[in-house]
Amino acid sequence: MSARAYEQIRRMIVRLELAPGDVLREETLQQQLGIGRTPIREALQRLARDHFVTVIPRRGTFVSPVDVAELSVLYETRAIMEPYAARLAARRGTPQHWSEMRAAITGAHDVTADEALLDVDRRCHEIIWAAAGNRFLTDTLDMLYAQSDRVWHVYLADVADTRHAVEEHAAILDALESGAAESAATLVEAHVRSFDDQVRAAVTSQLGSPLAAPN
């Protein structure tokens, strides 16, 4: 129940149903999710560790802001860890993994909504993480992806080329399926960097101030 509460509250934060600065009240969340106090409290503690919420003593629990200064660090970390997961996946993945990934990509052909395409992108990443077979890596990448997803909703929802991001997975899948670990890693890094470039451009445009210098 704690894991379910975590996933549901995190999704509400990522999709901006709970916006930065919103107060999170345990009683309200219990009513919304139909989950008891203890799982909600445990979920909020985990969300605080993952930097989705901020706990201020004697004031309450709030949805954390999106810190522009930390965006470069977020993508720097993903650009290291996602390719590493791809290398492992190329060596450890099974035909079942690649069949599921191909089905997800094929299913995206009939999808038009950006939210749904983003779900396909996430599903492809999840399959790669599963194929990598390292739960510690998966837990970390899951959190980092959710933070990136949140940034997308804040800055890119109206301008990002979501379909192109999904289509990039077709080339990644070919490399994974053939066991080409380094090619898969290179393609995944380019995929993450492309998203980073879009975020930098959008943030600079909206805020009128540059992010940290590119790597």
Q: Which helix (H) or strand (E) holds 55?
A: strand 53-56
Type of residue found at 98: W
Both ends of the chain: CA-CA distance in Å? Answer: 41
pLDDT at 160 (0 to 100): 63
Other Cβ atoms less than 10 A from the Cβ of 71: the count is 20
- Alpha-carbon distance of 198 to 152, in angstroms, equals 9
Pick the CATH number of 2-63 from 1.25.40.10, 3.40.47.10, 1.10.10.10, 3.40.640.10: 1.10.10.10
Decide if 86 contacts 92 (C-beta within 8 A).
no
Domain ranges of the chain: 2-63, 68-207
Cα separation of 82 and 141, whole Å? 7
Q: What is the pLDDT of residue 63?
A: 95
CATH 1.20.1300.10 fits 68-207, yes or no: no
In terms of Cβ atoms closer than 10 Å to its own Cβ (0-12, 13-18, 19+), residue 124 is buried
| Contact in structure between 198 and 156 (CB atoms under 8 Å) | yes
What CA–CA distance (Å, rounded) separates 143 from 191? Answer: 18
**pLDDT given at position 111:** 78
Size of the chain in residues? 215
pLDDT score of 207: 63
pLDDT computed for residue 213 by the predictor: 44
Which residues of the chain register pLDDT less than 50? 209-215
Q: Which residues contact 200 (CB under 8 A, 6 or more apart)?
A: 71, 211, 214
pLDDT in tens, 105-154: 998 888 777 788 889 999 999 999 999 999 999 999 999 999 998 988 88
Q: Strand 23-24 vs strand 53-56: parallel, antiparallel, or unpaired?
A: unpaired
